[in-house]
Structure formats: C-alpha cells, structure tokens
Chain A
Amino acid sequence: MSVPTPGVQTYTPREFHRQAHDALGNPQIRANFRSAMDGLMAKRRDVFGDWDLEALRELGANIRLRALAKLPDLLEQLETNCQANGIRVHWAEDGEQACRIIRELCEAREAKAVIKGKSMVTEEMHLNAHLEAAGIEALESDLGEYLVQLNEQTPSHIIMPAIHLNTDEIAGIMHDKTGIERTRDVDTMTAAARSQLRERFMSADVGISGVNFAVAETGTLCLVENEGNGRMTTTVPPVHIAVTGIEKVVEQLRDVPPLYALLSRSATGQHVTTYFNMISAPRQSDEHDGPEEVHLVLVDNGRSNIYQDDELLDTLRCIRCGACMNHCPVYTRVGGHTYGTTYPGPIGSILMPHLMGLEETKDLPTASSLCGACGEVCPVKIPIPDLLVRLRQESVGEGRGNVPGAGAKRTRKEAAAWKGFQWLATHPAAWRGGTAVAGKLRALAPSRLGVWTDHRSAPKPAGTTLHALVKRHRAGKDADQDTGNTTGNTKGDNGS
C-alpha cells in the first residue's frame, strides 16, 4: 500500500488559524494525535498510581523555584564547578551567538560530520541549518528526530518529535529516504535506522546533546533518554558539546531524583527511562573512552528578559516533559505543527511569545479554552492558564508592557467593545434593560455570531431576565406558574 509521505511544509504561528483548519480537516493527523495523546494520558495516570502526586509536584515546584531564585549565583557556581571538572563553559546571549560558538568549536576540530542527541534548545536556534550552511552535516540520532529530519520536517512534540506520523507514513519515509525495502515491520525499520546511526556515531567528529538538569553543586550535566543514542552521542565522538537554556540549572545533586521522577512519569509514563546519563568531565588520563573535550553552551535567548518579571518567571520552571501538550484538548486536535513554533501546546504558547514576540505569536495565548488541564498535570505546577491570561493582557496592551510586541493584538474595535461591555456592566439600570441590552451585547461583535452558528444553534435571549423572574417570584407569582416555561432554554431547546 502506498501512503504518501507528508510533504515538506513550513509552519508559522502567524498562520495558526489556517494551519489549524488544515489539521482539523486531516483525518490522519486527527487520529494519530488522538490515539497517541490518549495513550500518554493513560500511561501517566497509571504510573503515578498511589503516589502522593500533589506532594511530589509541590516538591518539584519548590526545587525549581529555589533554583530560579538563586539563578545568577547558581549559573556562576555551575560554571566554576564545570570548569574545575574540565568542562569548558560558553555563554550565548541569543541563538545566533550559540550557533556561532558551536560552529567555531566544530571548525576548530575541522569537523565535517556531527551527530546530535535530542535537544529542543538547538531546534529553537535552528542549529542544523546553521551548521549545514557552514558545510557541516548534522545527523539527528533520536529515532523520532531522525525520521523528522529525513522527512524535512520539524518536531511536532517536544518529547516525541515524530508523534504525528503513523507506521505507514514512517514506512514510506524509510523507503523513500533511506532506500530500504518498503516494510511495515517496526523492528526491520528500527534496525535499518540503527545501522546507519551506528556508522555515524563512529565517524562523527562532534556529538551535540541537550541537558535535562545542570547541577551547580557538582558541575554535573544530566541527560534523560530511552534509546542509548544520548549516551553514544556524548561518549563516542572526540568532542561533546552540551547545549542548554540557562534555566535548566538546579542547585544540588539531591534535587535531581525528585525532578527525574516527575519528568519520566509525566512525559512518557515511565518509572525510569532506559538511560540516565550524568556527565561530569571529559575522558581522564586513566580512562579508555569518553570524549577528549566536553563543552557546555549556556543559552539565554530571551530567558533573562522573562526572568525580570515575577509572574512570567514561572515559565522558566519548565522541565520539558510535554505533559501539558499531552493533556491539551487543543493540541490533541490540531497537533504540534499547527502552532508553527519550536515548542507547541500550552508551554509553547506561554514561552514562544518571549522568543518570537507577540506580533508573530498573538494567536497562541488565545488558542486555549483555559480548561486548566495543563496546569493540573504540570509536574512543577506552572500556572499555565494564568500565564496565558497574562500574555493575553500583554497582547492587547493591558499588561506590564515587558513582553516583545506587547499590544500587537489590540484593535480599536475590540477595545471599544470591551469599553462598551464595561459601561453596561457597571450601569445596573441600563443592564436591566433586558432584551434591549441583549440586543446591544450581540451588536458588540456582530461578525462573530456567524462562526458560532456554523456549528451550533444560536442561543436565544430568554423573553424574561433573571432579574425580572426574581421580582415576580418575590411577588409570589412564579413565571412557570403564570405562563408555563416561558424561556424554553433550560430544557435544552436552545436551537431555533
């Protein structure tokens, strides 16, 4: 059976609506995400079982908050202790500078081929494209990232980059791009990818990885993974470059087990991941393996700006588990690419405005029903719904004005409508104008009733307001005793 491979397509947050429209109309995307997210939610629920999850989340939140409270000091301590261990530390203010540092490190070794472990921060800075432009080929070694790279796509999920693809689609990609015989057998396909990757692990000049937790106390870099590709990436090539956002630092080694327990369970429903790497130093003189050089690139890229605001700061608690997207009813329906950002879903909607500005991302903070599922499952208790509301305030120019592009979504028409709403709702006598008021409220956004009624019957204002009903009730004459059920609406007959 021939399944067309999803073609190369670029996505941008500016086109969220169009991209959502396309995704909603794509039964394959809908089915892939629904079944994957259902599975992930069930696994998470089962793995926490009888744990006192609330206590653990509280602990996780406190560890992250403590680290953030001391962030500048911890970063210095991390640098000192890494350097004492022989890890060279580099600072990058933005993605471009980070790319340049990494490229120069590669060029210093005359590297032509790089093998990469999974790292969202390198996606954030488009490192692969930068290296490619410099004639350095970067191959992704995480199986999902590998498939996405073969298919010339970007990850659609921060933990499971190829979650938008099903087995048939993957079979097509493997056949088309690697030349293996078309098969639906997962083991055969995995073995094919493995043999190609093995070769590249051996021949790569540099291995590039992300970091899950950077421990200031000991100068240790922790890397969580399931495929062993992370361990290969960080130990086989002669140079290992670890790249991380500055917020990933934790104070002490003892902070790691609770965060790791939360991360693996929240992300994939695993008690532990297959591999947990703790990288403390390059190869020592009495050791037979490991890289000769280890570098740590600490990337700011907008994080310091987030850090200045005592509310937005909570965004930086994130340990990148992806549970917020797994549980998001919007993400589940539109998939990760629709967001057009490196980080999709709820965490992306509160993080990307800082990285890309609100002009580009103004439709993301509203792409949530504020159902609260994300905040409920977040292992470090980030108040994601509150932060979405805060960014809505920023995007209409009613926040503190310290997010790039603040005010980008404000329109005179909408601002006037809300002023009108304010006037009505603060003038009770006018409000009680009943149906007349209802008419006025509808007039606030006349073009908008259309989109409601595309899919639902229009709500009819009741003939009588509650104010009027209460008055009658007080007079001993209830509406339904007088006239039967005058409104009709409470019995679900709200269509017409």
Chain B
Amino acid sequence: MTPVKLYPPKPEKVYFFGTCLIDLFYPEAGLDGIRLLEREGIEVLFPEDQTCCGQPAYTSGYQHEARAVAAAQLDLFPEPWPIVVPSGSCGGMMRTHYPQLFAGTGEEAQASEVAGRVFELTEFLVHVCHLRLDDRGAPEKVAMHTSCSARREMGLAETGPALLAQLGEVELVEQARPAECCGFGGTFAVRHPEVSAAMVEDKTQAIEAAGAERFVTSDCGCLMNIGGRFAHQQKAVTGEHIASYLWRRSS
C-alpha cells in the first residue's frame, strides 16, 4: 500500500509527461488531459524532448537501456512544478522505480526528487485540483477499469471512479473481479500471448456482463488491450481514456 501522500496546493504550472503510448496511439487523450488541467487555470508545460519513461525495457530486464532512457527524461523537469502523467503505469514507473533504477548512481538524488513530483492525472485532478465536473453528456452505463499499476503501485483505486461519479448522467457499473489484471502487462502480452488472451477475454466478458456500453481507463496499455479485444470480437462496447471521456462530457 502506498504511504499516505500529502498533496500540495494547486500550482501555477505543471509539467505534462504524455507517455509513449499516448504519443503514438492516443494523442487526443494526452491533449484532453492538458485541456482539463488548463481549464483549472494551470499552465501546462510540455517538454518537447520527452519520449518514453523506459518501462518497456525495465520490465523486460534490460535495465541498462531502461536507465539510459529514464536518464534522458530526468532533465526535462528542471523547475519544481508537479509532473502529471496520464497513466498509472508510467506514473508508477517514474514514482516507484526511478529511485530504484538510479540507486547508487550519480543521478540517484535527481531521480528521487523527480519521483516525488510525479502524479497520475486522475490523482492530480482529484487531490490537487479538487476538480468539479458538470456533465453535459447523454445517459450512459460505464465501467471503469483501473489499471493494476494505478491501483496497486500508486494506490489509486478510487480517483478514477470518484471523477466518474461526478458525471450525473453516467451510471458507473461494476464488473466482476474489477481488481483483476486485464492481461496487458506490457511485453507480457507478447511473451505469453495465450495467457494474456485468456485474461483479456475474461475482462471483456465481465465488462459486457455488467451491462456497460463503454469502459474507461486511465492507462492506454489496458485501453489498447481491452479495446482491441472488443473490436476483434466486433462488440459494441467501446473504450476511452478517462481524460478524453471527462473532457468530452464536461466541455
């Protein structure tokens, strides 16, 4: 369990780390995250040289490569503003694993300092921005899939649902075994494709059985996995990153 975190007052500016999956596959979700923050009166700094947090190499055991990639991100946040990440997975990598990855190296202090400023987007919207949402969308049944890293590594099982609960026309339905992994796991999905496929099949069935018309998640890995399974099965259920969903319904 993540220790109790003391949240800062709403800052004037934040850094936004968009993550590589969003950059390549879901850029709109990143932009919607930025829009949500800007609407709260926060200036969003987007370091142009950001690429990837290094997690794919890290979880594959290629720690030297991961460290080199992570080191290149450490210098992108020179001022003491919070760093907002629209992913529990990348956020968890930066907050939890950067200090481990750089332990005993010259960048140890810098890595710990950066890690201490990392917030997952929904966490930041709830605990720092105290976001209030006005729902302008149509009635809809929605399931939330909180990623394992958001839920367990960052201790953020509640922030996504708390935001969705503010949308008056949205009925949040709970799927069976909500805390169970969807089977993505980064390279796990390609190293153990059959096990991963069995897991995502169960996840899509659970979401469908709950009566959801849509699922939202704060992690693009899960979105790609669960959404890709629904699409492959030609199901009507669609997925969306929570940033896009919140922005779309409240703007």
Check B58 against A458 for contact (C-beta < 8 Å): no
Q: Mark A412-433, 1 if CB is under 8 A from B, else 0.
A: 0011001101101110100110
Query: How far is B18's CA from A467's CA once the two chains are assembled, in angstroms?
Result: 9
* With known contacts A396-B62, A455-B201, A490–B32 Cβ distance under 8 A: yes
Tell yes or no: A366 within 8 A of B by CB: yes
Residues of B within 8 A of A490 (CB): 26, 28-29, 32, 240-241, 244
Nearest CB of B to A58, in Å: 10
Tell yes or no: A252 within 8 A of B by CB: no
Range for the number of chain A residues in contact with chain B: 35 or more
Check A493 against B188 for contact (C-beta < 8 Å): no
Q: Which of A426, A448, A457 contacts B69 (CB 8 A)?
A: A426
Residues of B within 8 A of A426 (CB): 51, 68-69, 72
Q: Mark A435-447, 1 if CB is under 8 A from B, else 0.
A: 0011001000100
> Chain B residue with minimal CB distance to A398?
B63
Give the interface segment out of B112-120, B167-175, B231-239. Answer: B231-239
Nearest CB of A to B193, in Å: 4
Q: How many A-B residue pairs have CB under 8 A?
A: 237
Tell yes or no: A134 within 8 A of B by CB: no
Query: How far is B224's CA from A478's CA once the two chains are assembled, in angstroms?
Result: 24
8 Å CB interface, A381-422 against B: 386, 389, 391-396, 398-399, 409, 414-415, 418-419, 421-422
Give the interface segment out of B7-15, B42-50, B121-129. Answer: B42-50
Most buried by A among B60, B61, B193, B231: B61
Residues of B within 8 A of A424 (CB): 51
Nearest CB of B to A23, in Å: 9
Query: How far is B26's CA from A464's CA once the two chains are assembled, in angstroms?
Result: 9
Check B189 against A371 for contact (C-beta < 8 Å): no
Q: Which of B29, B179, B185 contacts A369 (CB 8 A)?
A: B185
8 Å CB interface, B13-28 against A: 18, 20, 22-28
> Chain A residue with minimal CB distance to B147?
A371
Nearest CB of B to A375, in Å: 8
Check B30 against A469 for contact (C-beta < 8 Å): yes
Residues of A within 8 A of B151 (CB): 372
* With known contacts A394-B61, A428-B49, A454–B193 Cβ distance under 8 A: yes
Query: How far is B192's CA from A457's CA once the two chains are assembled, in angstroms?
Result: 17
> Chain A residue with minimal CB distance to B76?
A428
8 Å CB interface, B156-200 against A: 179-181, 183-200
Check A491 against B197 for contact (C-beta < 8 Å): no
8 Å CB interface, B76-104 against A: 100
Query: How far is B230's CA from A494's CA once the two chains are assembled, in angstroms?
Result: 9
Give the interface segment out of A6-14, A68-76, A169-177, A479-487. Answer: A479-487
Residues of A within 8 A of B197 (CB): 454-456
Tell yes or no: A334 within 8 A of B by CB: yes
Nearest CB of A to B178, in Å: 12
Interface residue count for B (Cβ, 8 Å)?
79
Residues of B within 8 A of A367 (CB): 192, 195
Check A373 against B179 for contact (C-beta < 8 Å): yes
Q: Which of B18, B27, B65, B190 contacts A487 (CB 8 A)?
A: B27
Q: Which of A20, A409, A462 contacts B195 (CB 8 A)?
A: A20
Nearest CB of B to A476, in Å: 12
Nearest CB of A to B128, in Å: 21
Nearest CB of B to A368, in Å: 7
Q: Which of A20, A329, A421 contacts B56 (CB 8 A)?
A: A421
Query: How far is B56's CA from A421's CA once the two chains are assembled, in angstroms?
Result: 9
> Chain B residue with minimal CB distance to A429?
B49
* With known contacts A24-B198, A368-B188, A369-B184, A457–B62 Cβ distance under 8 A: no
* With known contacts A393-B61, A425-B52, A489-B28, A371–B193 Cβ distance under 8 A: no
Nearest CB of A to B26, in Å: 5
Query: How far is B51's CA from A68's CA once the two chains are assembled, in angstroms?
Result: 42
Tell yes or no: A194 within 8 A of B by CB: no
Tell yes or no: A359 within 8 A of B by CB: no
Write the residues of chain B forming the contact surface with A, with a CB cutoff of 8 angstroms: 1, 18, 20, 22-32, 34, 46, 48-52, 54, 56-65, 68-69, 72, 100, 148-149, 151-153, 179-181, 183-201, 214, 223-225, 227-232, 237-241, 244
Q: List 10 A-B contacts (CB under 8 A).
A: A17-B192, A369-B184, A369-B186, A421-B56, A486-B28, A490-B26, A490-B28, A491-B240, A491-B244, A492-B230
